[in-house]
Structure 1
Amino acid sequence: MAAERGLMGDDRRRQFGLYLAGLRRRTGKSQRQLAALLCALSGTTSITRNEVSRWERGGRVPDTWLPFLAAVLHVPEAQLQQAVSYARGDRLAQLPGATQTLAQLLPPGDPLEPRAARTGRRIGIDTVAGLAGRVHGLRLADDVLSGGDLIVPAFRELSAAVALHRDSTYSDDVGRALLVQIGELAQIAGWIASDAGRLEDAERAYQLGISAARQAGDGPLVANLAGSLAYHWSNSGREDEGVDLARAAVDEAGEDAPGKTRALFFDRVAWAHTKMGRTHAQAAMRALGEAHEALGDEDGPEAPQWAYWVSREELEVMDARVYTELHRPLRAVPLLTDVLGRYDATHARELALYRSWLAVALADANEPEQAATEALRVIELSGDLASDRTASRTRVVLERLREYDDVPEVHTVLAEHGHLRLAES
Structure 2
Amino acid sequence: MTSESFGQVLKRYRVAAGLSQPQLARKVHADQSAMSRWENDRTTPGRETVERLDELLDAEGGLTSAAFPAPPAPLQPADQPVTCGDVEALRDTIAHLVALDGQHGGAELLPLASRTFRTASARLASGNYPASLEADFTATVAELGEVAGWLAFDAMQHDKARGLNLEALRLARLAGDVHMEMFLLGNMALLAQETGQAREALRTVELMERFPLSPRLRVMAALRRARAAADLGDERALILIQHAQSQVDESVTDTDPEWSWWVDRRELVMHEGSMWRAVGRLDKAVDRYAEALEAVPAAYRWSAYIGGSWLVAALVEARSWSEAETAANELATLAPEVSSRRATQRLREAATTAKDLRASSSLEGLLSALASS
Report the TM range for the smaller structure's normalisation. Answer: 0.7 to 0.9
1:138 match: secondary structure? helix
Q: CA deviation at 1:320?
A: 2.4
1:169 match: secondary structure? coil
* Structure 1 residue aligned with 2:350: 397
**Unmatched runs of 5 consecutive residues or more in structure 2:** 1-9, 15-20, 33-45
Out of 365, 373, 381, the position equivalent to 2:326 is: 373
1:280 match: secondary structure? coil
* Structure 2 residue aligned with 1:156: 115
Out of 250, 267, 277, the position equivalent to 1:314 is: 267
- Report the RMSD for the aligned CA atoms in angstroms: 3.8
Aligned letter for 2:140?
A: Q
The answer to whether the 8 A contact 2:202-2:225 is kept is yes
1:114 aligns with 2:99: no
1:171 aligns with 2:131: yes
Q: How does 1:406-417 map to 2 (within 5 A)?
A: 410-415=360-365, 417=367
Q: Deviations over 1:193-245 (max 9, x none)?
A: 12223222211110101101111222231121122122112222333322322
* Structure 1 residue aligned with 2:307: 354
Distance, in Å, in 2 between the alignment partners of 1:413 and 1:246 is 39
The answer to whether the 8 A contact 1:269-1:284 is kept is no
Q: Deviations over 1:171-197 (max 9, x none)?
A: 35x322222212211111011112223
Distance, in Å, in 2 between the alignment partners of 1:412 and 1:210 is 47
**Unmatched runs of 5 consecutive residues or more in structure 1:** 1-19, 39-55, 71-76, 83-93
Q: CA deviation at 1:394?
A: 0.6
- If asked which structure has higher relative contact order (CA below 8 Å, sep 6+), I would say 2
Distance, in Å, in 1 between the alignment partners of 2:180 and 2:307 is 26
Q: CA deviation at 1:158?
A: 0.8
Q: CA deviation at 1:379?
A: 4.7
Aligned letter for 2:312?
A: A
Q: CA deviation at 1:358?
A: 1.7
Aligned letter for 1:123?
A: T
Q: Deviations over 1:249-298 (max 9, x none)?
A: 2x24x23x333333333322222233x25x13423541452365255224
Out of 225, 235, 239, the position equivalent to 1:269 is: 225
Q: How does 1:128-207 map to 2 (within 5 A)?
A: 128-167=87-126, 168-171=128-131, 174-207=133-166
Q: CA deviation at 1:136?
A: 2.3
The answer to whether the 8 A contact 1:144-1:346 is kept is yes
Distance, in Å, in 2 between the alignment partners of 1:291 and 1:112 is 42
Aligned letter for 1:394?
A: L
* Structure 2 residue aligned with 1:78: 58
The answer to whether the 8 A contact 1:116-1:123 is kept is no
The answer to whether the 8 A contact 1:146-1:386 is kept is yes
Distance, in Å, in 1 between the alignment partners of 2:120 and 2:239 is 39
Distance, in Å, in 2 between the alignment partners of 1:284 and 1:29 is 50
Q: CA deviation at 1:95?
A: 7.3
* Structure 2 residue aligned with 1:11: none
Could you tell me the TM-score, scaled by structure 1's length? 0.68
* Structure 1 residue aligned with 2:185: 226
Out of 69, 72, 88, the position equivalent to 1:103 is: 69
Change (3 A) 1:310 1:416: closer
The answer to whether the 8 A contact 1:372-1:401 is kept is no
Out of 304, 316, 319, the position equivalent to 2:257 is: 304
Distance, in Å, in 2 between the alignment partners of 1:37 and 1:137 is 29
Change (3 A) 1:127 1:292: farther
The answer to whether the 8 A contact 1:187-1:209 is kept is yes
How much identity, in percent, do the aligned residues show?
21
1:114 match: secondary structure? coil
Q: CA deviation at 1:360?
A: 3.1
